[in-house]
Structure 1
Amino acid sequence: MKFDLSEEQRLLTESVERLMLDSYGFGDRRKYGGEVPGFSEAMWERYAELGLLALPFSQEYGGFSGGPIETMIVMEAFGKSLILEPYLATVVLAGGLLRRGGNEAQKTELIPLIVNGRAKLAFAYAEPQSRYDLFHVETQAKKQGTFWALSGVKTLVLHGNVAGKIIVSARTAGGTREKNGIGLFLVDVHAPGLTRRPFLTQDGLRGAEIALENVRVDESNLIGDPEGAFPVISRVADEAVTALCAEAVGCFTKMQAITLGYLKTREQFGTKIGSFQVLQHRAVDMLVELEQSRSMTLYAAMMVGEDNAIERERAVSAAKVQIGRSSKAIGHQSIQLHGGIGMTMEYSIGHYFKRVVMIDTLFGDADHYLRRLAALGGLRSESIN
């Protein structure tokens, strides 16, 4: 495989990293988090102006027809700055469901609004009892004439507090743990019977719990096959996991750099602690974990577009396992090497640690994906030649 970036991809990297460097320092992030939606609307507009919201969408809807590598580039830069904006929720998750499952009318109406920054969407998939199983759906969708009636509870809806529309997975047929019988429904947050309870997550982002009680959804807001949405959900989830892995790599890069800088400046007994060999070894261990995570994430990004579901899931699972393990290894080292200051809210390293721990658990932790990888027969050598 060739891992070199194209000229356009290098320009994208420089552009987004410059934006983050100029406008998204740790102090800026603290200020943005204090704004009413929990992020910066001005930065969201700048993402739209630079075309970052348009990257994965087809040109016929105002996008740039970018792929997973472009998303990886953006998410890694976002990870370095710990962005608070709903890029993952709107562009990767909800946008991915529209790209892969929406009909022409839905794409024509909604994708240009996402591209221009005028629409924020969320994907409500998790339920209190479902843990990491995307197919464990108890929320019911019952056909009543020309509309569907949705009832159930969705939890941890990322940026569900600001979304104008929410894509909800609901069961239209079968048992609660069957992969068949799941549909996707586009629901307006102001629909009668829908309530949402916003909350702040441990890593400073926002989410919401969504309760639906006989919420009426018109047939035109059904996305794809009412009983066959799971393959689309699974594929978009793999794309989201790959994006999260890239964000984690950005976090790891910053954590390693901050820790190395601290070792070079912190003194004990008149000596910089970076001169201690045992601490140098620990810093090298962090770098090794970072490079392993970067390599696995790039591999996943190159494979996530595969139509072969088994090969795609193997690559994504292996990357998520590596990210989960590196989250603990790099996180523990960075906090310990900083000593007491690493645990304070005023210092950035603890915030990076919180974010990578959250990334580890989103869609499934390392143990979950290791079991998934084992069930797929492991990461076979012929799949990476």
Structure 2
Amino acid sequence: MPNIKDVAKKAGVSISTVSNVLNDTKFVSEELKKKVQDAVQELNYKVDPIARNMKTRKTKTIGLITADVCGLFYPFLIKGVYEVANQRGYQVMICDSAGEYGEQGAIEREKENFDKMFANKVGGIIFASVTSPHMDKEYWYSLKKKTFQHQNIPLVSIEQDFSEVGIDSVYFDCYANSVKATEHLVECGCKKIAHVTGPVFSNVVKERMQGYRDAMKKSGLDVKDIMIAYGDYTHQSGYKAAKTLIQNAKGLDGIFFANDLMALGALRAFKELNIRIPEDIKIIGYDNTFASGLVDPSLSTIHIPKRHTGKLAMQLLVDQIENPVENRKVQKIKVEGRLVVRQSTVSGASDDRVLAD
């Protein structure tokens, strides 16, 4: 396998000149640049990203930490990250915090993932955290301290707003979106509305639950403990939660699911129980994943621009990497969600299918 010395010999230039061309670190004349590029092509030379990361701060690898890479939400967000990464010449290293391991397990795994990223000398990190700046400020301040120890690696949060601890953020208003979902069920005539949560250790899940509770209170509707079922974002937990709610909370006429995948699992349970959607019970999900528009009845939900969010996060990260500025103002971008009305709440509603985001 050819190395950088072979490229320098073939091009008739110094090793430092080859390095400057490949890493775009110093000015090189067009004539010498072409000689290096021709030698690279002729020898089929490939840059070792790990070796380059060890030698320069201008790494072309970024880290991405997700909370559940196997769901329907993150693949489209990752696609958005990759679109910008490919355009700007970056590679992406992905680690998953795997929320199903439970509260402490997920948080510890998240910390381990950050340490892996630092050890691999990535140029920056995009992350979705299972905790929040309010829950554990000491953790986040210590993490920021670690970034300074590792050549001030830039960070960007997705889904939650971490700007108060000095981290750029592309975030959603989970509370307001959940109010929107619950109020839609109320407007459809529902009086007894249940909620199926995601993993309760997650701050995002807590915000969605609080949005549901406050919307119910504002509408003068009671929330009893038996009207809240605890899921884990999987279709299996949605299936089980639906059956539990039907058995324990008699007279339900609406259910707000904290994500689409659980709502899709519930549709199977309702079919087995001969419960008609939306005639007997109206249901709404959250995220607007591609499957929500393909099932029958199609699923009403809250649309979150997943791919767009990934692109925005990567753009913020690249800006920090390529244009470092002292005392830079922390950036935060709120990505708005919107209500998508389909047949699971309104019989005969037109199908609003979003297959790409």
Greater relative CO (CA pairs within 8 A, separation 6+): 2
Larger radius of gyration: 2
User: Same fold by TM (over 0.5)?
Assistant: no
Name the structure with the higher helix share: 1
Q: TM-score, normalised by structure 2?
A: 0.29
For normalisation by structure 1, the TM-score amounts to 0.27
